[in-house]
Chain A
Amino acid sequence: MSQRNGGRVFGMALLTAQDNPPLAAKPRGLRPVNFALTLPALLLLVVFFILPVLSLLLRSVLEPAPGLGNYAALLGSTTYLKIFLNTFVVSALVTAVTLAIGFPVAWALAIMPSRLSSIVFAILLLSMWTNLLTRTYAWMVLLQRTGVINKALMGMGLISEPLPLVNNLTGVTIGMTYIMLPFIILPLYGVIRKIDPAILQAAALCGATRWQALTRVLIPLATPGMVSGALMVFVMSLGYFVTPSLLGGTANMMLAELIAQFVQSLVNWGMGGAAALVLLVVTLTLYAIQLKLFGTARMEGR
């Protein structure tokens, strides 16, 4: 078939496909195949994740004595509840900050001339490439009262006393944002790249101001990418422990550090399992709620 003919046939096929609902093009018998596609991952998870972890979590109701004693201790103690709350608050904060910074950067990356965007990409990937512990330690030293940032600010005369930038919520937020930014930028970049510029041109032609085009067209179109990235960052932050333990203060202890204490230092697997299970249940509940609210938007991708 010559190129031109093939093009015309493809175009007609495209029109046909778009007019007919996709299911009509697929014979009925193929539907179970899609479930089968998830089997390898499912098997891997069941054997190497669900079963082993379940037996550990079971200990939360069996150790030190059968019953819900661990859960009573956990949910009845203000300390633990405070740590739970703090974990979710910090994760939400980090997610919000990374989204706020990541969206403009992803947008810029999607439309910048490729020479500039290659450099920014290189920087992005390089920052991820350095070992996590090393990066966190670097921030610890940078943010100290006697660290470079405070010294520079004082040298420039902007402040007279060093700012407390580490061992508190500020330090944790800065450190975790640093680590999480690429996880928002990369997926968002992909989604924005795929948006047809013609849609925004049409919006402009219809008389939308740039601000309206942003809020009514671009952001809704990018929402699937934002939700996906935000979900990744939020969930990762919940289970994170290295960065918060080095950059945070004791008043903002996160759940993962507590669980590590239980499992590795106090060797109280009953409590450790209980805390982990509560975290799982709360997070999955939040996920289910999020699905109800944003689920349809994501499915259509429009």
Chain B
Amino acid sequence: MKNRLIIAAIAATLSVSTQVRAEDMVFTSWGGTTQDVQKAAWADKFTETSGVTVLQDGPTDYGKIKAMVEAAGVTWDVVDVEGDYAVQAGEAGLLEKLDFAIIDKSKLDPRFVTDYSVGSFYYSFVIGCNKDAVSACPKSWADVFDTAKFPGKRAFYKWSAPGVVEAALLADGVAPDKLYPLDLDRAFRKLDTIKADIIWWTGGAQSQQLLASAEAPFGSFWNGRLTALAATGVTVETSWDQNITAADALVVPKGAKNKDAAMKFIALATSAQAQADMAKGTGYAPVNLDSPKLMDPEVAKTLPDQQTAGQVNADMNYWAENRDAIGERWYAWQAK
């Protein structure tokens, strides 16, 4: 008798599926403190005004998106993805067209608006340097590629994404407006000159760890990470010279169950105040052109949108079209 009770209890537990209720929507991002800020600035505000509960999921996974769209079992309503993926996925039919009747795109930075996506936030690859660990800090990409003047290890982002290839070309003397189409051969030749001295970082936290411990006393970093690092007491020197912008985007997978709520959520997330709050919490730049006015000028100064002198915009469309081709060559070069 006791055995039967135990079996029944186990069966009951196993069959309880923790499913999401119909009135909830799901916001997916990359996790960590960035998602915590997105939750506070966007999701919680959305719940306050609309009454719809926003569940947090993550980390974003493109394989998962493809699988759920194909199986018509989409469980994510709004997803934070990389900018070039948003363009590519939109063209591949994986995303819903955004409803610009609900989302006001007139105030949004046009660099980051497409039919299928709007910017989530944007950031720049800048040159970061641990001042305590080196005698002199590099100021330009050419400096970072100069092992004679600046000996030691330097850090770069490992994955095939806008940023490193552009930096190599700029360091080699290519003018910013002549970057595209990317001359990959030239970029790889330039990268070869410092390959032995590169330490690759795979995530934001790792990049901060490398700089803080002086394992790689300088290199290419996301600006938000450097701001956060400086706040913990590490003496970081940032050079915005020729900073390269890139952005994350908000998208709605095709077949999302709560499309209406998703559009309204994106409308709120890209509104001036919500973007300003997010920028304050993460150190990333807002995509709403009205946001800087709402922000504390001291904080606004540290953001990429104020560092436009010499700023280079990574071409998301180019990357979207050539993502696979560039990726293949990138990994081939790394594996050499």
Where the two chains meet, the residues of A that have a C-beta atom closer than 8 Å to any C-beta of B are 77, 79, 82-83, 141, 144-147, 167, 245-246, 250-251, 253, 258, 261, 263-269
Known: A264-B61, A267-B66. A146 touches B335 (CB 8 A): no
Per-residue CB contact flags for chain B residues 302-334 toward chain A (1 = under 8 Å, else 0) read 000000000000000000000110010001101
CB distance from B19 to the nearest CB of A (A): 20
Are the CB atoms of B213 and A146 closer together than 8 Å? yes
CB distance from B218 to the nearest CB of A (A): 14
Are the CB atoms of A266 and B158 closer together than 8 Å? no
CB distance from B188 to the nearest CB of A (A): 13
Are the CB atoms of B332 and A77 closer together than 8 Å? yes
- Other-chain residue from B64, B324, B336 in contact with A251 (beta carbon distance below 8 A): B336
Per-residue CB contact flags for chain B residues 211-230 toward chain A (1 = under 8 Å, else 0) read 00111000000000000000
CB distance from B192 to the nearest CB of A (A): 13
Are the CB atoms of A144 and B335 closer together than 8 Å? no
Return chain B residues, CB-CB under 8 Å to A83. Answer: 335
How far, in whole Å, are A106 and B320 apart by their CA atoms in the complex?
A: 54
Are the CB atoms of B202 and A79 closer together than 8 Å? no
Question: Which residue in chain B gives the minimum CB-CB distance to A252?
Answer: B335
How far, in whole Å, are A250 and B160 apart by their CA atoms in the complex?
A: 13
Are the CB atoms of B331 and A79 closer together than 8 Å? yes
- Other-chain residue from B159, B200, B202, B214 in contact with A146 (beta carbon distance below 8 A): B214
Are the CB atoms of A264 and B332 closer together than 8 Å? no
Within 8 A of A (CB), among B46-65: 61-64
Question: Which residue in chain B gives the minimum CB-CB distance to A257?
Answer: B331
Return chain A residues, CB-CB under 8 Å to B199. Answer: 167
Are the CB atoms of B200 and A250 closer together than 8 Å? yes
Where the two chains meet, the residues of B that have a C-beta atom closer than 8 Å to any C-beta of A are 61-64, 66, 153, 158-159, 199-200, 202, 209, 213-215, 323-324, 327, 331-332, 334-336
CB distance from A238 to the nearest CB of B (A): 17
Known: A167-B199, A265-B159. A251 touches B61 (CB 8 A): no
Secondary structure class of chain A's binding surface, majority of residues: helix
Question: Which residue in chain A gives the minimum CB-CB distance to B334?
Answer: A250
Are the CB atoms of B323 and A144 closer together than 8 Å? no
- Other-chain residue from A145, A245, A253, A263 in contact with B63 (beta carbon distance below 8 A): A263
CB distance from A207 to the nearest CB of B (A): 55
Can you name 17 extra interface pairs (CB under 8 A) apart from A83-B335, A266-B324, A269-B63?
A: A77-B332, A79-B331, A79-B335, A141-B209, A141-B213, A144-B215, A146-B214, A253-B334, A258-B331, A261-B327, A261-B331, A264-B63, A265-B327, A266-B323, A267-B62, A267-B66, A269-B66
CB distance from A20 to the nearest CB of B (A): 39
Return chain B residues, CB-CB under 8 Å to A265. Answer: 62, 159, 327
How far, in whole Å, are A167 and B153 apart by their CA atoms in the complex?
A: 12
Can you give 29 contacting A-B residue pairs, CB < 8 Å?
Answer: A79-B331, A79-B336, A83-B335, A141-B213, A144-B215, A145-B215, A146-B213, A146-B214, A146-B215, A147-B213, A147-B215, A167-B199, A246-B202, A250-B200, A250-B334, A250-B335, A253-B331, A253-B334, A261-B327, A263-B63, A264-B62, A264-B64, A265-B62, A265-B159, A266-B323, A266-B324, A267-B62, A268-B324, A269-B66
CB distance from A261 to the nearest CB of B (A): 7
Return chain A residues, CB-CB under 8 Å to B327. Answer: 261, 265-266
CB distance from A58 to the nearest CB of B (A): 14
Return chain A residues, CB-CB under 8 Å to B66. Answer: 267, 269
Return chain A residues, CB-CB under 8 Å to B64. Answer: 264
How far, in whole Å, are A231 and B13 apart by their CA atoms in the complex?
A: 36
Are the CB atoms of A144 and B331 closer together than 8 Å? no
CB distance from A284 to the nearest CB of B (A): 25
Return chain B residues, CB-CB under 8 Å to A268. Answer: 324
CB distance from B95 to the nearest CB of A (A): 13
The 4 closest A-B pairs by CB, nearest first: A250-B334, A79-B332, A264-B63, A263-B63
Return chain B residues, CB-CB under 8 Å to A246. Answer: 202
Return chain B residues, CB-CB under 8 Å to A267. Answer: 62-63, 66
CB distance from A254 to the nearest CB of B (A): 11
CB distance from A93 to the nearest CB of B (A): 18
Are the CB atoms of A144 and B202 closer together than 8 Å? no
CB distance from A208 to the nearest CB of B (A): 50
Are the CB atoms of A251 and B202 closer together than 8 Å? no
Return chain B residues, CB-CB under 8 Å to A146. Answer: 213-215
How far, in whole Å, are A266 and B63 apart by their CA atoms in the complex?
A: 8
Are the CB atoms of B335 and A82 closer together than 8 Å? yes
